[in-house]
């Protein structure tokens, strides 16, 4: 069984790499100067993901002021992803091979949609997407519809400081949770 960051939790070192967003310049992971909020989302056009990411985009300036860089990953091909994320103010990365998902221990499960706690957010997000006339996702999205979300806060030295793998499609850190984790990370002594 491969090693995952979920199993090792907060003491796991993340090796340096550059991620290539669907638009913009390469993004270092870890960032040498800032915390990184690495979000592993579901598929391009996922209504639940879109609703969540718009809440993050609305507070992006506040997140950046807290010293956090947002990096969002989808398990969709770049061409499919671009039309859904063009207006987001942060890096969005395509990972159709689900390499980062495997590395960070974020998988798929029927509970993504079947958990009753997801139903309210699914209804709200679909209604919001229809109201906003958002592009529909592919009828058979690359990587499937059953992905779970994952959130990882990674320090400048590459240490996973906090993580959450969702229990269902709508289970991810809200912005206030992220900001609290960033404050806590800044107060904590640096690992030696």
Residue range(s) defining the domain that contains residue 113: 45-149+160-186
Count of domains observed in the chain: 1
Q: Hunting for tokens 């990587």 — which residue is that?
A: 143
Find, among 48, 149, 45, the residue nearest to 104 by Cα: 149
Could you count the other beta carbons within 10 Å of the beta carbon of residue 148?
A: 22
Q: Has residue 88 been placed in a domain? A: yes
* pLDDT at residue number 138: 61
Q: Has residue 6 been placed in a domain? A: no
How far apart are the C-alpha atoms of 150 and 189, rounded to whole Å? Answer: 25
Q: Has residue 19 been placed in a domain? A: no
Q: Has residue 29 been placed in a domain? A: no
Q: Has residue 54 been placed in a domain? A: yes
| Residues 7/126, Cβ–Cβ less than 8 Å | no
Q: Has residue 11 been placed in a domain? A: no
How far apart are the C-alpha atoms of 54 and 38, rounded to whole Å? Answer: 16
How far apart are the C-alpha atoms of 119 and 186, rounded to whole Å? Answer: 36
Q: Taking residues 1-13, what's their average pLDDT?
A: 52
How far apart are the C-alpha atoms of 106 and 39, rounded to whole Å? Answer: 10
Q: Has residue 145 been placed in a domain? A: yes
pLDDT, tens digit, 9 for 90 and up, residues 58-91: 999 999 999 999 999 999 999 988 988 888 999 9
Which pTM was predicted?
0.85
Q: Has residue 191 been placed in a domain? A: no
| Residues 92/100, Cβ–Cβ less than 8 Å | no
* pLDDT at residue number 179: 97
Q: Kindly indicate the confidence band of residue 3, based on its pLDDT and cuts at 50, 70 and 90.
A: very low
Q: Taking residues 23-43, what's their average pLDDT?
A: 94
Residues 111-139: b if buried by 16+ CB within 10 A, e if exposed: bbeebeebeebbeebeeebeeeebeebee
How far apart are the C-alpha atoms of 47 and 57, rounded to whole Å? Answer: 15
Q: 3-state SS string over 98-114?
A: CHHHHHHCCCECCHHHH
């Amino acid at each position: 069984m491969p090693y995952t960051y979920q199993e090792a939790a907060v003491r796991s070192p993340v090796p340096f790499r550059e991620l290539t967003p669907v638009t913009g310049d390469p993004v270092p992971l870890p960032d040498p100067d800032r915390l990184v909020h690495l979000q592993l989302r579901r598929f391009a056009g996922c209504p639940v993901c879109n609703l969540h990411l718009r809440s993050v985009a609305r507070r992006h300036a506040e997140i950046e002021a807290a010293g956090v860089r947002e990096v969002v990953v989808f398990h969709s091909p770049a061409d499919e992803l671009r039309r859904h994320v063009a207006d987001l103010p942060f890096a969005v990365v395509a990972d159709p091979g689900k390499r980062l998902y495997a590395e960070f221990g974020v998988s798929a499960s029927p509970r993504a949609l079947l958990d009753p706690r997801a139903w309210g957010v699914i209804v709200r997000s679909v209604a919001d997407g229809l109201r906003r006339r958002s592009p529909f996702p592919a009828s058979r999205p690359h990587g499937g519809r059953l992905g779970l979300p994952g959130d990882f806060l990674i320090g400048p030295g590459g240490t996973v400081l906090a993580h959450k793998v969702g229990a269902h499609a709508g289970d991810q850190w809200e912005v206030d949770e992220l900001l609290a984790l960033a404050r806590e990370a800044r107060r904590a002594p640096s690992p030696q």
